[in-house]
Chain A
């Protein structure tokens, strides 16, 4: 879209949820809108406020504005990194797109591999920004702006910071008694904002607390007709692992129309090539996101609400317990220089079987000395010292040098968010959620022409909750969320959700990569080991052709 005077041209991917307020403000200031699109608001805001406009936006966005008068390009990406934005610069020409694949398809970009991206994938199971699998393609990091002119792109500049919001919250803590009210008001406000749409908004509904509570809040926000999509697995039908009956109960509770989509292993196998094809960057997950998006498309939905982000925001992951515990237990000992390395060598020498079956145990003393290290230990698919054994040793070494995984994770914790909950919240949101969950939701949704909206991934909500996040005791955040709707979630949902649900996709993945048969008769393998093999299968299916041989030289 071009501004009326022709000076600005915008290209925009995303949704601005506070568009009505922005438009009202701008019109009060005398701006005349030509369309009813939030895209136009970006043009007016940029013309009036320049780069500072980004602070006024609530939503998910990646956009570029060409300024004809200054002959430069302004790029911006939302604070959480919900929408992707990739750039490539060869020194003469700057290119950008929402997908790595689009840039590659355009030609003229080197496909030389980026060791940091490949190493990052092996460490985390997804490619950590700003890297991609290709050296010449980079992500504009979440919450950053970038200016490009005749001298090329300038270094991206941050305009928002998760750690900063949480640090401010920790410094001005709210009373524990306020938790429920803050969560209720904040989540309802976010849901209301996320329902702004020209088309029907549906919801992904599991039997968990997050999506159930969001469904209740959709009701409170005034939406009468709600269609909820639940992904269920054929082989769990009639067992306690089946989420469909509980989800149906939630639907009935809130008077929503329930659509249960049953998935079989056969369909998984049939879709696998299409999944790998749609995956923009390799990911060890995204399978569930693919099928639930497919179900929404089949139901004719274009926009859905998802509970993604609830575990990060409200302390739902086991890591909120494990990280502080591990760090307390081993951190002091691990701070002794060299002890981790020695312990690892010693254990590997005296107990080789132990080190093969539980490879991460070897890393405890090496990594638990810092929060970033403890996180890597908890979440890592492989640990850095294992990489030379699973990929080309030279690429592993070069990739680690370029990625600096510990320093990069630690940088997310600046300024220090002070409380343990807030630290884990930042690490999970800036690493796992940003690089894995949000990327998976994006490519899986886009492949089905579906817009996935995430009210629990919202900076306004984060600001509202930051003062009480330090005070969350285990389960308190989720309990507050379950009570957010006027009609709270049924108790059985809250109780059942605590034990979690299984998905059979891990076994399917294992079978799909040909390990099903020889695993028979053995003790079931740890989930982590399956993920490791799966990650290699994904990379094999996706990696740039000229990188293949280098990747698996070992």
Chain B
């Protein structure tokens, strides 16, 4: 029997990285290494600002932020060792990954996430993706977008959704509730980056809905977790709307604090129009908190078409919040179990393994 293949991972960031893409890359690569689908993984990141621990069978080279330095290092690494599989974690790195595929006669997996893969990319990126042996998408929406510009057999383009980490569970959130003085309040929560170039998360929509909710008798507190340069604008928006004392920007928080904040919230809201998937929805549900989104783009998948989360149109969104706050918070354990059954690590591992087996059997 042939030994499992070796993999080279061309990624923006994975271990020691921040944000959704780094998280997905870690989940994906860890799962591959754990299930024995590959014998070794060499990860080549461009960034790794945080400390990290590597799982077994995984090594990571030092981060190289510069594109030229990165490309040279990647080619050198590729030429010096056997490579059966190239994993490309971002569309814009696909031309480099496709080159390595050609040089090494390896198979290429291209991972696509969200907005980076929605519009038609450059010719070289498109050609690189079309040369892939397998394209993974985090959501149906991203898959559909990829197939709209890529001339590639649709059977090679699979959806493997995000997964939620084990740390997010229902339970006690009282420490945060008292630390943030939330007793008696109805707590809305959004977790996500506030990037002025990507104003799609929908913080604005929540802030503008608050005064009406208060008028209806809800003692609202809106918690905003995450960092980003758009925070200043959102703070001003809250002031102008006269609700600045009800909106609290908490910045970036540690994992344990984040879990407790999720548990504390009455409703997780993220009326985003641009999610590739929206892993924060999963984290909230796994922590037992109901979620509300717009049900557009990748968020439809995270909300499971309304089976797990609640979807509303943009126009109905404020009224739906009011409606949900009128009801008591549903059983956190049932919601968490349903979310985990669908998007837990085990289900994710099955999806990743099935995709890899599909790729390897096509030899």
B359 to chain A, nearest CB (A): 10
Any chain B CB within 8 A of the CB of A135?
yes
| Alpha-carbon distance A154/B359, docked complex (angstroms) | 10
Are the CB atoms of A155 and B155 closer together than 8 Å?
yes
Are the CB atoms of A151 and B158 closer together than 8 Å?
yes
Are the CB atoms of B147 and A135 closer together than 8 Å?
yes
* Chain A interface size range: 10 to 19
| Alpha-carbon distance A89/B156, docked complex (angstroms) | 12
Contact with B along A389-419 (1 / 0, CB 8 A): 0000000000001100000000000000000
Among A57-84, those with CB < 8 Å from B are none
Interface Cβ pair total, 8 Å cutoff: 48
Q: Which residue of A lies closest to B358 (CB)?
A: A151
Stretch at the interface among B54-62, B191-199, B284-292, B348-356: B348-356
Q: Which residue of A lies closest to B139 (CB)?
A: A91
Are the CB atoms of B153 and A91 closer together than 8 Å?
no
Are the CB atoms of A150 and B350 closer together than 8 Å?
yes
Residues of B within 8 A of A402 (CB): 151
When the two chains form the complex, which single residue of A89, A92, A135, A151 contacts B354, counting CB atoms closer than 8 Å?
A151
Are the CB atoms of A91 and B358 closer together than 8 Å?
no
Are the CB atoms of A91 and B140 closer together than 8 Å?
yes
B278 to chain A, nearest CB (A): 16
Are the CB atoms of A154 and B358 closer together than 8 Å?
yes
Any chain B CB within 8 A of the CB of A152?
yes
B163 to chain A, nearest CB (A): 15
When the two chains form the complex, which single residue of B151, B154, B301, B355 contacts A138, counting CB atoms closer than 8 Å?
B154
Contact with A along B36-53 (1 / 0, CB 8 A): 000000000000000000
Are the CB atoms of A112 and B354 closer together than 8 Å?
no
Interface of A is mostly: loop
Are the CB atoms of A154 and B143 closer together than 8 Å?
no
Residues of B within 8 A of A27 (CB): none
Residues of B within 8 A of A92 (CB): 140, 159, 301
| Alpha-carbon distance A303/B201, docked complex (angstroms) | 60
| Alpha-carbon distance A401/B152, docked complex (angstroms) | 11
Any chain B CB within 8 A of the CB of A128?
no
Are the CB atoms of A153 and B137 closer together than 8 Å?
no
Are the CB atoms of B158 and A135 closer together than 8 Å?
no
Any chain B CB within 8 A of the CB of A52?
no
Are the CB atoms of A91 and B158 closer together than 8 Å?
yes
Any chain A CB within 8 A of the CB of B257?
no
When the two chains form the complex, which single residue of B159, B354, B362 contacts A91, counting CB atoms closer than 8 Å?
B159
Any chain A CB within 8 A of the CB of B144?
yes
Any chain A CB within 8 A of the CB of B35?
no
Interface of B is mostly: helix
Contact with A along B131-157 (1 / 0, CB 8 A): 000000101100110011001011111
| Alpha-carbon distance A90/B154, docked complex (angstroms) | 9
Any chain B CB within 8 A of the CB of A473?
no
Residues of A within 8 A of B154 (CB): 89, 138
Are the CB atoms of B358 and A112 closer together than 8 Å?
no
Q: A110-B144, A112-B148, A135-B148 are known contacts. Are A153 and B155 too (CB-CB below 8 A)? A: yes
Any chain B CB within 8 A of the CB of A136?
yes
Most buried by B among A92, A135, A136, A156: A92
B136 to chain A, nearest CB (A): 10
Are the CB atoms of B354 and A150 closer together than 8 Å?
yes
Q: A135-B147, A150-B354 are known contacts. Are A155 and B140 too (CB-CB below 8 A)? A: no
Contact with B along A134-168 (1 / 0, CB 8 A): 01101000000000011111111000000000000
Q: Which residue of B lies closest to A146 (CB)?
A: B155
Residues of A within 8 A of B153 (CB): 155
Any chain A CB within 8 A of the CB of B357?
yes
Q: Which residue of A lies closest to B149 (CB)?
A: A398
When the two chains form the complex, which single residue of A90, A153, A156, A401 contacts B140, counting CB atoms closer than 8 Å?
A90
A397 to chain B, nearest CB (A): 12
| Alpha-carbon distance A136/B153, docked complex (angstroms) | 12
Q: Which residue of A lies closest to B152 (CB)?
A: A402
Residues of A within 8 A of B151 (CB): 401-402
Most buried by B among A91, A112, A155: A91
**11 A-B interface contacts by CB (under 8 A):** A89-B155, A91-B144, A91-B159, A112-B148, A136-B144, A149-B354, A151-B158, A151-B357, A155-B153, A155-B155, A156-B155
Q: Which 10 A-B pairs have the closest CB atoms?
A: A91-B159, A151-B354, A91-B143, A155-B155, A91-B140, A402-B151, A90-B140, A151-B358, A153-B155, A150-B354
Q: Which residues of B are in contact with A by a Cβ distance under 8 Å? A: 137, 139-140, 143-144, 147-148, 151, 153-159, 301, 350-351, 354-355, 357-358, 362
